[in-house]
Structure 1
Amino acid sequence: MLNEINDHQLAYIKLWYLVQHSLSAYQKLVQHFGSAQDAVQKNHLNQWHQLNLHKNHIERASQFFSDQQQQEFERILYQIHQHSDFMLTEQDPDYPQQLMPYHDRPPILFGKGKAQHLSEAQIAIVGSRKPSPHGKQVAYDFAYYLSDQGFYITSGLAQGIDEAAHQGALQHGRTIAVIGTGLDLIYPSQNRPLHDQILKQNGTIISEFLPGTKPLQHNFPRRNRIVSGLSLGILVAEAQLGSGSLITAQAAANQGKTTFAIPGHIYSEFHQGCHQLIREGAILVDHPEQIIEDLALPTQWQHQQASLSRKNNPNEVQNDEIAPSVDRPKLSKHEDDEHSIPIHLLAVFQQLDWVGRDLDQIAATLDLDTATLTSHLMELELLGRCIQQSGLYLRCRN
């Protein structure tokens, strides 16, 4: 249960409620007024109609101080208290730094469990909701191995591959679920035992949605960008053509994250989505150690970020009753041969792949001007981590 909501958090909740989770409206208002706190001031609510917002947002703002709106908002605040152990805004020091480079990051996250887990090194495992028995076993085995090596396994609490991945990671108490509803709802309802087990075994469940938000279809692609954004890389364990997990893979590609796919029999419909991803540039893997090898550098950066977070919040790591220690992920056996990348370059490096991306593609997901981005890419070239070919920037190994 959340102990209290401060004025800063209250302003974020109020704005998020008034725009009903609309990222574009939220960003437009913050850009115009300067902050969430200023955007929801009573004398500013009457100015919303000047910003070409959706009429529903304008109407909700104009009626916010009516008895009906106030009662509904108070009910939401009560549910946040009841169903959340923590909440993080993008201005909070504990907000996961791996989400900060993305312009579509959620401005607020509600969570159950331990907030500090969000800053740990994570690998996403996703796939079909109706997998083959073989696919579920593979997802479980990969999650079990990777969590044993110290990684948190992040997925969407859906049936099928998500469920198997969470269960495998729970054997070592390292899993994070990102859901597409408010924290007061569990979807699908069949996964209530899994939901409860995640919380019982030191896991974390988060959502960007306010309490009362139902499992609407468009919520899940939104959830997927958080799953991939939190993670160092994403593994598609099994997917048919048209599977929703391919949307998560696309979100990962847009964010510059490494995508891995497990192949199957060429005539198996359960694996056609994975085969398509491999043709499009995803890395074929048949053992989880291969994932650890390829993610050595991003994992090193994640350690640096987590260490900084712990230094800024010493009470969270000194009190074992509040935050039990977690083993650091074991990296590639070639880790000592890898050159470290400066922290300020990691966000750009993560946008690169082995196929090549142009400046516009990289800039689309980073809040950097062209001059700064070009400078960062040049530094990566000098470090031997990037190469330019025919106007495209690619990762390269030393």
Structure 2
Amino acid sequence: MQISQVERQQLTLWYLLHHSFTAYNRLIQYFGDAHAAIQPNAVDIWRQLKLHANHIERLQHFHTAPDPSDLDRILQQVEQYTDHILFKGQAHYPAQLAPYDDSPPILFVQGNADVLHQPQIAMVGSRSPSPHGAQIAYDFAHFFAEKNYVVSSGLALGIDAACHHGAIQKGQSIAVIGTGLDQCYPAAHQSLWQSIIAQGGAIISEFLPNTPPAKPNFPRRNRIISGLSLSTVVVEAGLESGSLITAKKAADQGKQVFAIPGHIYSQYHQGCHQLIRDGATLVDHPLQVIEDLNMFGHLPSIVPPSGAALSAKPALKKSNDQSTAPQTENVEIPEHLNVLYQQLDWIGISIDELAIRLNQNIIDLNVALVELELLGLCKQHGGRYLRC
């Protein structure tokens, strides 16, 4: 893409302010445009507006001891890695973000920018989920995409990756990242990044190229994930999970928050349980989310099939890029293994417990469990057997 002179001025201001949307908005409100805001005689106004000393110093340095190579290199990378630049106030900027004071003044998009205007459901959760949590994330996202909702998440390890994978099997997904579009973080998700784009989705960021994956960037990008979406679903989260930041931001934005419950002793679900106590809506099926959203009347009418239920899917497995990738074939449960399979859940059960419940010897159970594992219907995790 080619950057116009006006766009270059806006990007220069964004560069000088180190992505500070509060300072950017204050200057645009005062000066009217970026061109006037970056002139040498604007320094005194920056001081009067009480901008951070680092911002003022960067503006002064920009005019007194300029090093154009750094800015030029970044702008070249913008042209190289960005398919669309969306400026707040312009027609193509997502309307659902515009009302918020902290919405990004600039969004960089790789992929299909039109997908940002489609109905979206945000899905977030732990970077280190249980096998159960990863499977549920995949199933919910798959269901939402099948019903023509775009699934938005953050491209992180764990729940985010499972959500993206589930969505792109049936529709589109959006990944909001905490770096510039010149780098994929985590690097293992490069193939997932490409798959999202190939399926008509988008990777978006408010950060210029050369922005590293700094820790503060990830809580900050969560406001975009929730802001773009009609609601936020928290799949699995501990009490210290960053997903709770997204949920809080969604609630502050007036969006409905959904949380999936789990075992009361599970560390993976303590954050979800806290959200439910704080007023989030408990859900155990993605159709419940869609039904609640349809109550508002401004969404497309979605009629689920009679008796809709989550389809049983085989286990998630590790792909060559080390990200969560689902197997998609449905497997029929052999009759002689069905009773054993019905005893399994996504929390896990030991072989000793199975022997007591089924009144079988451990040798026979081992043989049967191996059969289930080979069929992709069961896996062992921490000495316990889990349904896939």
SS at match of 1:217: coil
SS at match of 1:64: helix
Q: Which letter maps to 1:188?
A: P
| Aligned residue in 1 for 2:130 | 132
Q: 1:151–1:329: 8 Å Cα contact kept in structure 2?
A: no
| Aligned residue in 2 for 1:279 | 277
| Aligned residue in 2 for 1:241 | 239
Q: How far apart are the structure 2 equivalents of 1:259 and 1:332?
A: 22
Q: 1:252–1:259: 8 Å Cα contact kept in structure 2?
A: yes
SS at match of 2:62: coil
Summarize the alignment of residues 81-96 of structure 1 with structure 2, pairs less than 5 Å apart: 81-96=79-94
Q: Which letter maps to 1:204?
A: A
Q: How far apart are the structure 2 equivalents of 1:19 and 1:269?
A: 40
Summarize the alignment of residues 132-151 of structure 1 with structure 2, pairs less than 5 Å apart: 132-151=130-149
**RMSD across aligned positions (CA):** 1.7
Q: How far apart are the structure 2 equivalents of 1:130 and 1:149?
A: 28
SS at match of 1:215: coil
Do the aligned partners of residues 37 and 332 (structure 1) sit closer, same or farther apart at CA in structure 2, a change above 3 Å counting? farther
Summarize the alignment of residues 30-45 of structure 1 with structure 2, pairs less than 5 Å apart: 30-45=28-43
**Among 16, 19, 22, which residue is 1:21 paired with?**
19
Answering whether residue 302 of structure 2 is matched by residue 330 of structure 1, we say yes
Report the CA distance between 1:45 and its aligned residue: 4.5
Answering whether residue 253 of structure 2 is matched by residue 255 of structure 1, we say yes
Q: Which letter maps to 1:210?
A: L
Report the CA distance between 1:297 and its aligned residue: 4.9
Q: How far apart are the structure 2 equivalents of 1:68 and 1:213?
A: 20
Q: How far apart are the structure 2 equivalents of 1:285 and 1:200?
A: 31
1:205-258 Cα deviation digits (max 9, x unpaired): 000001000111111111000000000000001111111101100110110100
| Aligned residue in 1 for 2:183 | 185
Q: Percent identity?
A: 54
1:298-323 Cα deviation digits (max 9, x unpaired): 5x54x6xxxxxxxxxxxxxxxxxxxx
Q: How far apart are the structure 2 equivalents of 1:236 and 1:101?
A: 24
**Among 153, 166, 169, which residue is 1:168 paired with?**
166
Q: 1:182–1:210: 8 Å Cα contact kept in structure 2?
A: yes
Report the CA distance between 1:94 and its aligned residue: 0.7
SS at match of 1:173: coil
Q: How far apart are the structure 1 equivalents of 2:45 and 2:249?
A: 35
Q: 1:46–1:61: 8 Å Cα contact kept in structure 2?
A: no
| Aligned residue in 2 for 1:227 | 225
| Aligned residue in 2 for 1:265 | 263
Summarize the alignment of residues 46-125 of structure 1 with structure 2, pairs less than 5 Å apart: 47-65=45-63, 68-125=66-123
Q: Which letter maps to 1:256?
A: G
1:180-228 Cα deviation digits (max 9, x unpaired): 0111111111211211211222210000001000111111111000000
Higher Rg of the two aligned structures: 2
Q: How far apart are the structure 2 equivalents of 1:49 and 1:70?
A: 24
TM-score by length of 1: 0.74
Q: 1:123–1:234: 8 Å Cα contact kept in structure 2?
A: yes
1:314-338 Cα deviation digits (max 9, x unpaired): xxxxxxxxxxxxxx672689xxxxx
Unaligned runs of 5+ in 2: 306-388
Q: How far apart are the structure 2 equivalents of 1:11 and 1:260?
A: 41
Q: 2:115–2:200: 8 Å Cα contact kept in structure 1?
A: no
Q: 1:155–1:165: 8 Å Cα contact kept in structure 2?
A: yes
Q: How far apart are the structure 2 equivalents of 1:329 and 1:198?
A: 26
1:5-51 Cα deviation digits (max 9, x unpaired): 12332222111111001122112212221233321234434642332
| Aligned residue in 2 for 1:341 | none
SS at match of 2:121: strand
SS at match of 1:234: strand
Do the aligned partners of residues 212 and 297 (structure 1) sit closer, same or farther apart at CA in structure 2, a change above 3 Å counting? farther
Q: How far apart are the structure 2 equivalents of 1:288 and 1:218?
A: 31
| Aligned residue in 2 for 1:204 | 202
| Aligned residue in 2 for 1:11 | 9
SS at match of 1:177: strand
Q: 1:224–1:247: 8 Å Cα contact kept in structure 2?
A: yes
Range that drifts further, 60-69 or 127-136: 60-69
Q: 1:121–1:329: 8 Å Cα contact kept in structure 2?
A: no
Unaligned runs of 5+ in 1: 304-327, 334-398
Q: Which letter maps to 2:240?
A: G
Aligned pairs, how many?
305
Q: Which letter maps to 2:302?
A: K
| Aligned residue in 1 for 2:322 | none
| Aligned residue in 2 for 1:317 | none
SS at match of 2:79: helix
Q: 1:86–1:115: 8 Å Cα contact kept in structure 2?
A: yes
Q: How far apart are the structure 2 equivalents of 1:262 and 1:71?
A: 50
Q: How far apart are the structure 1 equivalents of 2:112 and 2:65?
A: 36
Q: How far apart are the structure 2 equivalents of 1:68 and 1:8?
A: 20
Q: Which letter maps to 1:31?
A: Q
| Aligned residue in 2 for 1:314 | none
1:338-394 Cα deviation digits (max 9, x unpaired): xxxxxxxxxxxxxxxxxxxxxxxxxxxxxxxxxxxxxxxxxxxxxxxxxxxxxxxxx
Do the aligned partners of residues 297 and 6 (structure 1) sit closer, same or farther apart at CA in structure 2, a change above 3 Å counting? farther
Q: How far apart are the structure 1 equivalents of 2:304 and 2:276?
A: 23
Do the aligned partners of residues 144 and 74 (structure 1) sit closer, same or farther apart at CA in structure 2, a change above 3 Å counting? same
1:141-173 Cα deviation digits (max 9, x unpaired): 000001000000000000000000000001023
